[in-house]
Structure 1
Amino acid sequence: MNTLTRIAVLALVLFVTQARAQEFTGVATYKSKRKVDIKLDSTQVNSEMHQKMMDMLKKQFEKTYILTFNKEESVYKEEESLSAPQPGGMEVVMVSTGGADILYKNIKEQRFTNQNDVFGKIFLIKDQLESVEWELGKETKNIGEYTCYKATFTRQEPKVVGGISVNGDKDLDEEKEPEMETVTITAWYTPQIPVNNGPGNYYGLPGLILEVNDGSETVICSKIVLNPKNEVEITEPKKGKKVTKEEFDKIMEKKMEEMKERYSPRRGKGDGQEIEIRIGG
């Protein structure tokens, strides 16, 4: 095969690959699990109640998400489910700052829109996607029928977020600057699905991200339907008060302070137990 013929064949292969990539649409189902390790005073919470609470929290963090995608856009949202029952005689207040009711990503335009319901008020966070410098590795593993490649990056996060208060004890969440730590994000992507996308805010790899782990939470794909018979609809959310990510973070900080005041230990008010757990995202 002469040089011109090789170039022509290569160009044809690239053209076909790009054409197929443009046709790619799909629906991917992801399951999330988070490590939960909370130490409580055994004089106030017995081992049986502690175990019940740990089991409840694990269930609380076992969620299902649906990613609907094409080559340039995606919508990621949680599948509705019933809330996990709380242990008898104990009130557990879960406050999460990392959730997204509907997360729309436009990879081509490098932007996102996050529709988020915060205590009954809907916000529409619109901002640019954060650029990530992935380090591509050679390690591989199979997830379902797909061969996946490892990629990593690091970021700085608060080492401790939130606190726990039991039976009117002093709140452990003191006013101070959070200690930071370096967290390694590990993703597994498959070039067999040539879209630059993934669950949550993750994107930027040469193939769909099927699994991602940040050290405490793992999100893994359990099902993929490519080019489904029913047309895939990807609609950017429009409802809510428009804010930037920075503005929304400040609003959440204020809301967290209000929650802290609302659920602060109330001495002499009832004999039940109240536990507040705040999870950062």
Structure 2
Amino acid sequence: MKTALLTLLFLIPAFGVFAQNAHFTTSGTIEYNKTSNTYAMIEKQINKDNEGFYRTFFEAYKKANPQFKTLKSTLTFSGDKTLFTPIEPDNGGNTFFDMPLADQNNTTYIDLSTRITINQKKVFEAIFLVKDTTRKIKWKITNETRDVAGYPCRRANGIMMDSIYVVAFYTEKIHTSGGPESFNGLPGMILEVAVPHENIIWTATKVTDMPIADNAIQAPKKGKPETNAQLILVLKNLTKNWGDEAQFYLKGFLF
């Protein structure tokens, strides 16, 4: 009994030191790379009706462009607020194949405490300001783990927009339950998220733990005000005569 009591007395200070040294990031910035397999995206758009025309341009595209397109972005976060900001690429590359899924069309502000998202969205030459509730994703957390950008992460599988399968890795070391673009809803920050069937993945490359000023996270203000439901109607009307390509563009702009 005396030995057990002495052991406990030694362990109590050790637990105190561990608690003091345990660190959780509450504010800072995260740099992401969005990587898209453009060859696979284009291949999906080629069918028997357009193959003669598209195949020639696809071969020309492959000669001038790499298979994987990578774009950079920054997520600024503090407490329950996040701001995802795309970084404009140095050049646009070949523009014959317009692929909104491979682009970064959104500047996204999220207030997780109120569950409000304000999304400045570029649709071709138009700018919309979409205010709505945060994206709903049905998550199932698994036991798989990996390190991303130096943080231990756990895998979660999700379904969004009724049928789109996503795979995310989040860390509880960053309490903010956000992520790139509009991804959210896990018990920690999403540092990697893939949409396998759409050939896209976002991966954090660097996390900077730093204080963020209160005025550094501001919602975008430019654009025509819409809700998600209103924007869907606008896009459906815009693409109503586009045949099979309509769904490809709708999905790309609604991400």
The TM-score bracket by the shorter chain reads: 0.7 to 0.9
Q: How far has the Cα of 1:132 moved from its partner? A: 2.7
- Residue 220 of structure 1 aligns with an amino acid whose one-letter code is T
Asked if 2 retains the 8 angstrom alpha-carbon contact of 1:212 and 1:218, the reply is yes
- Residue 94 of structure 1 aligns with an amino acid whose one-letter code is D
Query: Which residue in 1 is equivalent to 2:96?
Result: 92
Asked if 2 retains the 8 angstrom alpha-carbon contact of 1:71 and 1:196, the reply is no
Pairing 1:56–2:65 present: yes
Q: How far has the Cα of 1:228 moved from its partner? A: 5.2
Asked if 2 retains the 8 angstrom alpha-carbon contact of 1:155 and 1:184, the reply is yes
The Cα offsets for residues 154-183 of structure 1, whole Å up to 9 and x where unpaired, read as 2466xxxxxxxxxxxxxxxxxxxxxxxx44
Q: How does 1:71-220 map to 2 (within 5 A)?
A: 71-86=79-94, 92-94=96-98, 96=100, 99-155=104-160, 182-215=163-196, 216-220=199-203
Asked if 2 retains the 8 angstrom alpha-carbon contact of 1:27 and 1:226, the reply is yes
Q: Give unpaired runs (5+ residues) of structure 2.
A: none
Asked if 1 retains the 8 angstrom alpha-carbon contact of 2:31 and 2:205, the reply is yes
Query: Which residue in 2 is equivalent to 1:168?
Result: none
Asked if 2 retains the 8 angstrom alpha-carbon contact of 1:27 and 1:68, the reply is yes
CA distance in 2, matches of 1:100, 1:73: 20
Query: Which residue in 1 is equivalent to 2:227?
Result: 244
CA distance in 1, matches of 2:223, 2:55: 44
Q: How far has the Cα of 1:40 moved from its partner? A: 7.1
Q: How far has the Cα of 1:210 moved from its partner? A: 0.6
Taking structure 1 as the reference length, what is the TM-score of the superposition?
Answer: 0.67
Asked if 2 retains the 8 angstrom alpha-carbon contact of 1:25 and 1:232, the reply is no
The structure whose RCO (Cα within 8 Å, separation 6+) is larger is: 1
Query: Which residue in 2 is equivalent to 1:176?
Result: none
- Residue 101 of structure 1 aligns with an amino acid whose one-letter code is N
Q: 1:194 to 1:50 in 2, by over 3 A?
A: same
Q: How does 1:2-17 map to 2 (within 5 A)?
A: none
Q: How far has the Cα of 1:131 moved from its partner? A: 3.0
Q: 1:233 to 1:255 in 2, by over 3 A?
A: same
C-alpha RMSD of matched pairs (Å): 3.5
CA distance in 2, matches of 1:76, 1:131: 18
CA distance in 2, matches of 1:122, 1:50: 29
Asked if 2 retains the 8 angstrom alpha-carbon contact of 1:77 and 1:100, the reply is no
* SS of equivalent to 1:252: helix
CA distance in 2, matches of 1:30, 1:62: 10
Q: Give unpaired runs (5+ residues) of structure 1.
A: 158-181, 265-276
* SS of equivalent to 1:92: coil
Asked if 2 retains the 8 angstrom alpha-carbon contact of 1:68 and 1:232, the reply is no
Give the number of the structure whose residues are more often helix, by fraction.
Answer: 2
CA distance in 2, matches of 1:40, 1:62: 26
Between the two proteins, the alignment pairs up a number of residues equal to 225
The Cα offsets for residues 221-241 of structure 1, whole Å up to 9 and x where unpaired, read as 011111158887101112222
Q: How far has the Cα of 1:191 moved from its partner? A: 1.2
- Residue 26 of structure 1 aligns with an amino acid whose one-letter code is G
Query: Which residue in 2 is equivalent to 1:222?
Result: 205
Q: 1:46 to 1:151 in 2, by over 3 A?
A: closer
The Cα offsets for residues 196-232 of structure 1, whole Å up to 9 and x where unpaired, read as 1111111111221110011121110011111158887
- Residue 183 of structure 2 aligns with an amino acid whose one-letter code is Y
